Amino acid sequence: MKKGKSQKNNVIVSPFRKDDENDANDSDQQMEDMNYPGSIITSNGKYKIYCLTIIGEVEGHNYSCDDVKTTKYECVIPQLIAVEQDPKIDGMLILLNTMGGDVEAGLALAEIISGMAKPSVSVVIGGGHSIGVPLAVAANKSFIAKSASMMLHPVRMNSGNLGIPQTFQYFQRMQNRITNFVCENSHIKPKRFKKLVTNTEELSADIGSVLDGDEAVNEGIIDYVGTISDAFRCLYSMIDKKPKKPSKTKNKSKNTTSQKRSAKTKRNSR
């Protein structure tokens, strides 16, 4: 069987292991694999929580500049899959301080987070700008620090573009994807979100709006203004309400007892 491969240059660690001879060892190894730079697993509290940080620029299909701190989506996706499949992880806390980045990479991460069954809470602690907005609302519940901010602006590209109607239509469709995701995962209406995105009276060198913590909550994008402790309390409450699965040990003992009883009944009938 092949074991998980690791690539040191991009800090990519695959959490998947196909060796099923010892489930406990496999799970422990998977827990180790999930501890890559930018994440941590807390196990000293009430529950075991996976903490993921999304910082700097969300790097997509192309490499960013060497002097820019990035969150590599090809590193984060395997971690999210591992968290979802690991029974030892009870929930996930996402900390955001990002300037934005690649639209499709950010949306891909946001879609995975929003589709996870594990309880999740996000906290915007510095900035949740641009594509950081969908990432913030992707969690089940979202918080923002009072001093944090979020910038909303239209989709833009750094490369050369053709000045033709098809280019405008492509940008419009891409913006609609972001708008639909944000509005489906928050309480803001599409009409209001588009108005904030196309605001021409606030930014001097761009189109859009900057919202501080209170404004982001009042607009319905973020659920609460709060800190890390508030986020943990919310996450613990969500885990408490989640139905508990019966343990394998109890099921195994029950099956063994029922098998013994049936065997004893057969012997007596004979």
Amino acid present at 38? G
Instruction: Identify the active-site residue in 120, 122, 142, 153.
Output: 153
Question: How many whole angstroms separate alpha carbon 125 and alpha carbon 93?
Answer: 12
Q: Which ranges in the chain belong to alpha helices (H)?
A: 23-33, 73-85, 103-114, 132-137, 165-184, 190-197, 213-218, 228-241, 248-269
Residue 136 near residue 177, CB atoms below 8 Å: no
Contact between residue 224 and residue 255 where contact means Cβ atoms under 8 Å apart: no
- Where do we find the tokens 């955001």? 96
How far apart CA 136 and CA 219 sit, in angstroms, is 14
Q: 131, 227, 213, 141: which is closest to 177 by C-alpha?
A: 131
Pull the structure tokens for residue 218.
Answer: 């009042």
List the catalytic residue out of 130, 142, 186, 209: 130
Class of residue 41 by CB neighbours under 10 A (exposed 0-12, middle 13-18, buried 19+):
middle
CA 250, distance to chain mean position in Å, is: 33
Q: Is 153 a catalytic residue?
A: yes
Tell the residue number behind the tokens 């050369």, with chain if given: 160
- Output the six-digit token pair for 79: 């971690």
In one-letter notation, the amino acid at residue 182 is V
Q: Do the strands 224-225 and 49-59 form a parallel or antiparallel pair, or are they unpaired?
A: unpaired
* Dist. CA 210–CA 148, nearest whole Å: 10
Point out the residues that are catalytic: 130, 153
